[in-house]
A and B are shown apart, each in its own frame.
Chain A
Amino acid sequence: MMMSNGIEDEEKWLAEGIAGIQHNAFYLHRALDSNNLREALKYSAQLLSELRTSRLSPHKYYELCKVLHMRAFDELRRLEIFFKEEDRHGCPVIDLYELVQHAGNILPRLYLLCTVGSVYIKSKEAPAKDILRDLVEMCRAVQHPVRGLFLRSYLAQVSRDKLPDIGSEYEGEGDTVMDAVEFVLQNFIEMNKLWVRMQHQGIFYEANVSFGDRDPELKPSFGVSGLQGPHREKEKLEKERNELRDLVGKNLHVLSQIEGIDLEMYRDTVLPSVLEQIVNCKDELAQYYLMDCIIQVFPDEYHLQTLETLLSACPQLQPTVDLKTVLSQLMERLSNYASLNPELLPEFLQVEAFSKLSNAIGKVMEAQVDMPVVGAISLYVSLLTFTLRVHPDRLDYVDQVLGACVKILSGKPKLEDSKATKQVVALLSAPLDKYDDIVTALTLSNYPRVMDHLDAGTNKVMAMVIIRSIMKNKSWVSTSDKVEVLFELIKGLIKDLEGISTDELDEEDFNEEQNSVACLMHMLYNDEPEEMLKIICTVWKHVMSGGPKRLPFTVPSLVFSALKLVRRLQGQDGDVGGEEVPATPKKIFQLLNQIIETLSVVPAPELALRLYLQCAEAANDCDLEPVAYDFFTQAFVLYEEEVADSKAQVTAIHLIIGTLQRVNVFGVENRDTLTHKATGYSAKLLKKPDQCRAVYACSHLFWVDDQDGIKDGERVLLCLKRSLRIANAAQQMTNVTRGSSGPVTLFVEILNKYLYFFEKGNPQITASVIQGLIELIKTEMQSDNAVVNPVSDAFFTSTLRYIQFQKEKGGAMGEKYDSIKLGG
């Protein structure tokens, strides 16, 4: 209830204040228009009296002042003009200066004095420095914090363009930059004192208190906030103090704009004075704000050169000041400065910026033992960013920063605070972003140590960040040592770390992780086969303990890496200049065997079968018959024992046939065994059409078009005949089970195969055989219980068309086909 009344009252008082100003302004204008100095002074004093109110909260007071200043600048400017035009009022400025001091109340008196003072300085009838000094001293009479702050702020404003800066018209004998600096510093110091005093006096708006005409300025006012409790009081106070802080900070801004201040003056006069005030005021809010101000307002070049001084103030500040933010700001500015001006990097080295900052941080850490981990780490993140920008080649510095973080994290339980973990991730990601060659970052000795302190979940997040960085920058990892380091770092993805079992994981996330690892493997490469094999072995060492969930992802990638290496080594039999060479295809195949075998724990028989076949073909290309045979054996064993799904069997047997068809390393016996197996299994597939197709596919096992390829026409025919029998059986079965014949597709397919071998010149396949088959199909299509099937019809038609086309070709082909009749 009290609150809302208070707000309503405030609005009322503000309105009243503004009305008062307007009222007096009206009369002021009249006085100015009639050049009536006395009246002008009277009404301007009354106008300014509205600022004497204690009723308003600083926020509303500020609003009032803003209104006043907006109005008053017009008024006071008019007044200023009026004052200046001596002929209008006949009073010399020096007398005016005296005259306004007779105003009744001190606040209006001082506002008028500042206004006249401004005119006085402009008139140059007295040295600027004398007037400025006088004014800044006189304002001491107002010790009420809020009013004093606004008054001095007004002083700062009107004096701004009249400082005896270098090159200004107010510079002269005895009027130097130093005077300007002293003035601004003095004003700043007084304003800060007033501002700090607010904290102790708890000044904010009062209800129902009026002091009438007495000078309330000299009397401290007290708040009536007890009703709201001490905590809210503190909050409110802080808020109100914050609203006024820019008034104080503005002085530093003015200082930064004074052209006459060079580095020397800044270093020897300005900074020490400001820092002294900051330290001595012992006020947490002021210290934090003003340190930040210094950093923002003065040039980075100065900061660099006064780094020691600036940093030495830090330990002297109140222990509750958020130094990490201050230091972070400083480092960020210096980082940007370095980025934009790379030619200045030697300066950074010369002032030993890194060690100074590093030491300062160390001191802060010592002083603030209770600093939460997130704060400490974020501080080091800033330092690391700085280091990476300014000293990117100093890996020792980078490692040092990481080492400091390790110290912070040691002795504490694994991080659970998500903000802190985010900071650690930021810390670890910074070097990755900076160095194109990821490996540079990874070889920092403290890097893995920091990672060890992450909880398992974040460890994996970081591992993914690392992988993504490598993939994005296309960084090749080219030695087994580096691979070792890398895989140690990403071990959270490679195996189950304590704390997380694979069952708890979200499947999608898990798959994403594992696919990333699989992709990563393609970035591990070395031209030297020896080193490449070492890399593969290192990866396998890490990946083999990944467990049944991970192996299906990681094994194929590794296998193909190894197969690529085999291909590079093809033709080398391990005898280079008589010495035993470790990297040979044979050795690699042995390793491959081991690797693929582990898929049995998943179990992933279909995948393993495919990989065995890949290896078989590679072994064939290396002329290693026993190795190739062994791989085929393994594939067949898996087929027999593990591939149960009928669809999977169809694919698997085709893969076996397809591979077998391509290999030529086998002697007759081995080849016979394998082709026999293949054909046998083909005929044993579950569905008849599948059997049929697999069997005619097997026909190609006995006919290879190469120069020395096998060309066993008889066995080809045997296969084709067998598949024909199966097709027939299939037809009959359909007749029985469905009451109508099935499509003639199979027959047409077989016909096409006959044509294939016919064209290749298989002596066993004659035109009459073909003819017979054509007739068979026609008969089937025309039979009583034939079902019209447009697809197989079209197939047959296009096959006939093909035959016609071949006939029309003429030449040898035409001759071959000549005896095949399509008509009738």
Chain B
Amino acid sequence: MVLVLALGDLHIPHRAPDLPAKFKSMLVPGKIQHVICTGNLCIKEVHEYLKTVCPDLHITRGEYDEDSRYPDTKTLTIGQFKLGVCHGHQVIPWGDLDSLAMLQRQLDVDILVTGHTHQFTAYKHEAGVVINPGSATGAFSSITYDVNPSFVLMDIDGLRVVVYVYELIDGEVKVDKIDFKKTTTPTNLPH
């Protein structure tokens, strides 16, 4: 069982002062094996905080990030899964799942983690899963109204990944989960 935290669009300090206290108390160092961050932290203090949660940290560049050296996309392998990360402001139309699916094909990953819309989604299509962990701070978004703070925890076990989404609604943390199973053999293609 490998735990992967996916979060992003914190927009600290421009749109939010900090992560919700209830989230912070859940993100205990040492419990999570990997952290994926879609971008828009925006300042290095957030980077440093995430590093304390887990040193294996993967960040992609959001359009407001102070550090411009984060890459536009990143791919990594965790267990049997190939994951891709991209903030998502580069994929137009923003939040469009078909366009994101194209990016997924391009990166050749099973799970694409992306952000920008501040709206949690978990979408399965023929090539894999697109996950948007939303905004961990509930930051203002021009795209989504009434953003609740949210983040995602993926439990990768063999060919199965359970996606837990944590949302802070009216001061309470609500959890939901979705199961995905990876198919091992791709369909044969005539060339």
Contacts and interface: CB of A to CB of B under 8 A. Distances in A.
A633 to B, nearest CB: 18
B94 A800 contact: no
Interface stretch (A291-299, A517-525, A765-773): A517-525
A554 to B, nearest CB: 10
Nearest to A696: B92
B142 A618 contact: yes
Interface string B179-191: 0000000110111
Contact of B13 (A515, A564, A795): A515
A797 B188 CA distance: 10
Given A563-B140, A661-B93, A700-B93, A798 B13 contact: no
Given A795-B106, A799-B105, A801-B127, A560 B45 contact: no
Interface stretch (B14-22, B30-38, B152-160, B164-172): B14-22
Interface string A782-800: 0000000001001101111
A771 B108 CA distance: 23
A560 B42 CA distance: 14
Given A471-B18, A519-B17, A749-B106, A567 B145 contact: yes
A780 to B, nearest CB: 15
Given A560-B14, A658-B94, A662-B93, A804 B187 contact: yes
Contacts of A20: none
Nearest to A660: B92
A651 B72 CA distance: 10
Interface residues of B, number: 34
Contact of B92 (A697, A791, A798): A697
Contacts of A801: 126-127, 186-187, 189
A798 B102 CA distance: 9
Contacts of B23: none
Contact of A560 (B15, B18, B145, B189): B15
A170 B71 CA distance: 90
B143 interface: yes
A654 B90 contact: yes
Interface in A544-561: 553, 556-557, 560
Contacts of B142: 563, 614, 617-618, 621, 659, 662
B12 interface: yes
Interface in A636-674: 651, 654-655, 657-659, 661-662
A795 B98 contact: no
Dominant SS at the B interface? loop
Contacts of B16: 522
A756 B102 contact: yes
B89 interface: yes
Contacts, number: 107
B140 A700 contact: no
A186 interface: no
A823 interface: yes
Interface in A508-539: 511, 515-516, 518-520, 522-523
Most chain-B Cβ atoms within 10 A of its Cβ — which of A523, A621, A658, A824?
A: A658
Contacts of A610: 63-64
Given A567-B145, A610-B63, A655-B63, A560 B140 contact: yes
Nearest to A606: B63
A518 B14 CA distance: 6
Contact of A519 (B18, B93, B94, B105): B18
A752 B102 CA distance: 7
B52 interface: no
A824 B187 CA distance: 17
B182 to A, nearest CB: 14
Nearest to B17: A519
Dominant SS at the A interface? helix
Interface in A569-627: 610, 614, 617-618, 621
Contacts of B92: 654, 657-658, 661, 697, 700
A655 B89 contact: yes
A617 B186 CA distance: 42
Contact of A518 (B13, B63, B89): B13
A776 interface: no
Interface in B78-125: 89-90, 92-94, 98-99, 101-102, 105-106, 108
B107 to A, nearest CB: 8
B189 A800 contact: yes
A580 B140 CA distance: 28
Given A618-B142, A745-B106, A523 B17 contact: yes
Interface string A723-749: 000000000000000000000010011
A654 B63 CA distance: 10
A822 B189 contact: yes
B12 A564 contact: no
Interface string A75-118: 00000000000000000000000000000000000000000000
Most chain-B Cβ atoms within 10 A of its Cβ — which of A610, A749, A795, A798?
A: A798
Contacts of A798: 105, 108, 127
B57 interface: no
A511 B190 CA distance: 58
A564 B139 CA distance: 10
Nearest to A794: B108
Contacts of B140: 560, 563-564, 567
B162 interface: no
Contacts of B191: 800, 822-823
B43 interface: yes
Interface in B31-77: 43, 45, 63-64
A471 B92 CA distance: 37
Nearest to A809: B126
A436 interface: no
B43 A795 contact: no
Given A556-B14, A567-B145, A756 B90 contact: no
A222 interface: no
A802 interface: yes
Contacts of B99: 756
A567 B127 CA distance: 37
Nearest to A694: B92
A520 B18 CA distance: 11
B93 A795 contact: no
A26 interface: no
Nearest to A564: B140
Contacts of A630: none
B146 to A, nearest CB: 9
Contacts of A452: none
Contacts of A802: 101, 105, 126-127
A809 B102 CA distance: 18
Contacts of B12: 519
A511 B98 CA distance: 40
A507 to B, nearest CB: 12
B58 to A, nearest CB: 19
Contacts of A567: 140, 145
Contacts of B143: 662
A31 B102 CA distance: 110
Contacts of A300: none
Most chain-A Cβ atoms within 10 A of its Cβ — which of B14, B98, B106?
A: B14
Contact of B43 (A515, A621, A651, A659): A515
Given A519-B17, A655-B63, A822-B189, 14 more contacts: A522-B15, A553-B13, A556-B14, A556-B15, A564-B140, A621-B142, A658-B92, A662-B93, A662-B94, A756-B99, A791-B108, A795-B106, A798-B105, A801-B127
Q: What are the 3 tightest A-B residue pairs by CB atom distance, in nearest-first order?
A: A519-B17, A518-B13, A823-B190
Interface of B: 12-18, 43, 45, 63-64, 89-90, 92-94, 98-99, 101-102, 105-106, 108, 126-127, 140, 142-143, 145, 186-187, 189-191
25 contacts: A471-B18, A511-B43, A515-B43, A515-B45, A519-B17, A522-B15, A557-B13, A557-B14, A560-B14, A560-B15, A564-B140, A610-B63, A617-B142, A621-B142, A654-B92, A655-B89, A658-B93, A658-B94, A661-B93, A662-B143, A756-B102, A795-B105, A797-B189, A801-B189, A804-B187
